[in-house]
Structure 1
Amino acid sequence: MHILMIEDNESVSEMMQMFFLSENWEGTFAYDGQEGLDLFLEKPEYWDMITLDLNLPTKDGVTVCREIRKESKTVPIIMLTARDSESDQVIGLEMGADDYVTKPFSPLTLIARMKALHRRAELLDTTKGSVDSEIETYDIQTDHFCMNTKTREAYLNKQLIEGLTPKEFDLLYTLANKPRQVFSREQLLELVWGYQYFGDERTVDAHIKKLRQKIEKVGPQIIQTVWGVGYKFDDSEAGE
């Protein structure tokens, strides 16, 4: 992979460079937000993954993320932040980041998340060229809800749920594929992210929060909280 790491802490960059080399990945490093954004915009199709610090000189990570998303809707972005609050995590996800890692972090944890995110990005790429006469068939379809994994679209009461990020789509698909089954946060971490989060379950809650906000723009809520357990999909009361 070609990795663009936008990180103002040189010691962190030097440490991750060793891990990138051990994976045979090519790492390019920028130490302020504007420099990182310029590197990306020079050749946006070149990068397979971006890690982006939230606190950067010149231009902050949220602004950089927003600008990158204007150019590319699909390049995977992992936000790195020393802050440990749900609001910062949600802001990063809202601006288009696919994942976040809170500092201090284990390099092996970051590498694992990057691998999982890259696998899912590759899977998405393989489906892009296969949208054909089956474009109107749905992988999940109920009286009120449907999803198409080829077009990566979801509809509630025939209205498109707009702006779903790759992770939000995968999360919604996982829940909707087993209607009324209750999933714990640990199960969703494994099924959607493809690896253990070492107990960091807040990433599920942050994604659920943003997903619900997008669903509520087109209809009633179809993701239900089962207190003390987790979440489930239930569209039985989603009639028009």
Structure 2
Amino acid sequence: MNESILIIEDEIKIAQLIADYLTASGYTTHRLENGDDVIPWLQDRPASALPSLILLDLMLPGTDGLTLCHHIHDQWPQLPIIMLTARVEEVDRLLGLELGADDYICKPFSPREVVARVKAVLRRAHSRDSVGDDALNQLVLDEEGWRALADGKDIELTAVEFQLLKVMMSAPGRIFSREQLMDHMYRDHRIVSERTVDSHIKKLRRKIADAWPEREIIRSVYGVGYKYQPEE
């Protein structure tokens, strides 16, 4: 398999247990206990020696897990991160994922579950890395990972942004009214203003523009709504 996992966990028994199960599954493991050691450890390694995936505890001595997740995602965006934490509040989960985490496991957990999640996240990562020429110059939706790939580049979307893009891409060239888009955005039929749709579209366009700076594939139709129009 020749894949390595960096375990960043200050609880030694938990870290050792995870390492034992990962080793038994064919992975090489490295362990760090203090958040302050993580970025220097990664910076000292050439790209070829970086880990395949990082298991990152939220509560660490030194730099905390959320801060590390943000820095790692900025400097090494290709590195998958699974966060480990005893804090189960929804805000922590969403914040961790928005900062770049690929998955989130709450303690206490089964080490077998950790191994299964590692395998699943690595499969998604390998799928992104192996995008062939047929996927270039295309925008592709990864429905399992709730993200989009533009020329193989990962575009991380919120659930609402993903749903908006999915709806418009289902019928290229079709104009969707704001009301129609709202029905797909919020299945509970909550009451929101049409400006909410405009705000989500603006954020979605900005994220796509970061990957495709000179393309406009989500177009406004004055007085009507929006459509997905891939360039020829």
TM range (shorter): 0.5 to 0.7
Match of 2:203?
217
Match of 2:156?
165
Once the two structures are TM-superposed, the CA of residue 139 in structure 1 deviates from its matched residue by: 5.2
| 1:3 aligned counterpart, secondary structure | strand
Aligned residue among 17, 34, 41 for 2:43: 41
Q: Structure 2: how far apart are the matches of 1:42 and 1:53? A: 21
Once the two structures are TM-superposed, the CA of residue 9 in structure 1 deviates from its matched residue by: 0.4
Match of 1:18?
20
Q: Which runs of 5+ in 2 are unaligned?
A: 142-147, 172-180, 185-198, 206-223
Q: State whether structure 2 residue 152 is matched by structure 1 residue 151.
A: yes
Aligned residue among 80, 83, 89 for 1:79: 83
Q: State whether structure 2 residue 74 is matched by structure 1 residue 70.
A: yes
List per-residue Cα deviations over 1:41-81 (Å, max 9, x = no partner).
Answer: 22263210000000000110011111112211111000111
Once the two structures are TM-superposed, the CA of residue 167 in structure 1 deviates from its matched residue by: 9.3
What TM-score, normalized to structure 2? Answer: 0.63
What TM-score, normalized to structure 1? Answer: 0.61
Q: Is the 8 A contact 1:44 1:72 kept in 2?
A: no
List per-residue Cα deviations over 1:151-196 (Å, max 9, x = no partner).
Answer: 347xxxxxxxxxx33897xx6699557679x9xxxxxxxxxxxxxx
Match of 1:27?
29
Q: Which runs of 5+ in 1 are unaligned?
A: 141-146, 154-163, 183-212, 220-235
Query: Quick one: structure 1 residues 67 and 100, their matched pair in 2 at CA, closer, same or farther if it must change by over 3 Å?
Result: same
Q: Structure 2: how far apart are the matches of 1:56 and 1:237? A: 47
Q: Structure 2: how far apart are the matches of 1:69 and 1:61? A: 12
Q: Structure 1: how far apart are the matches of 2:151 and 2:128? A: 8
List per-residue Cα deviations over 1:134-160 (Å, max 9, x = no partner).
Answer: 7434558xxxxxx7653347xxxxxxx
Cα root mean square deviation, aligned: 3.6
- Identical positions, percent: 30
Query: Quick one: structure 1 residues 58 and 126, their matched pair in 2 at CA, closer, same or farther if it must change by over 3 Å?
Result: same
Q: Is the 8 A contact 2:138 2:151 kept in 1?
A: no
When Rg is computed on C-alpha atoms for both structures, the one with the higher figure is 2
Q: State whether structure 2 residue 123 is matched by structure 1 residue 114.
A: no
Q: Structure 2: how far apart are the matches of 1:119 and 1:84? A: 26
Aligned residue among 63, 86, 92 for 1:88: 92
| 1:238 aligned counterpart, secondary structure | strand
Q: Is the 8 A contact 1:50 1:76 kept in 2?
A: yes
Question: How many residues align structurally?
Answer: 176
Query: Quick one: structure 1 residues 48 and 214, their matched pair in 2 at CA, closer, same or farther if it must change by over 3 Å?
Result: farther
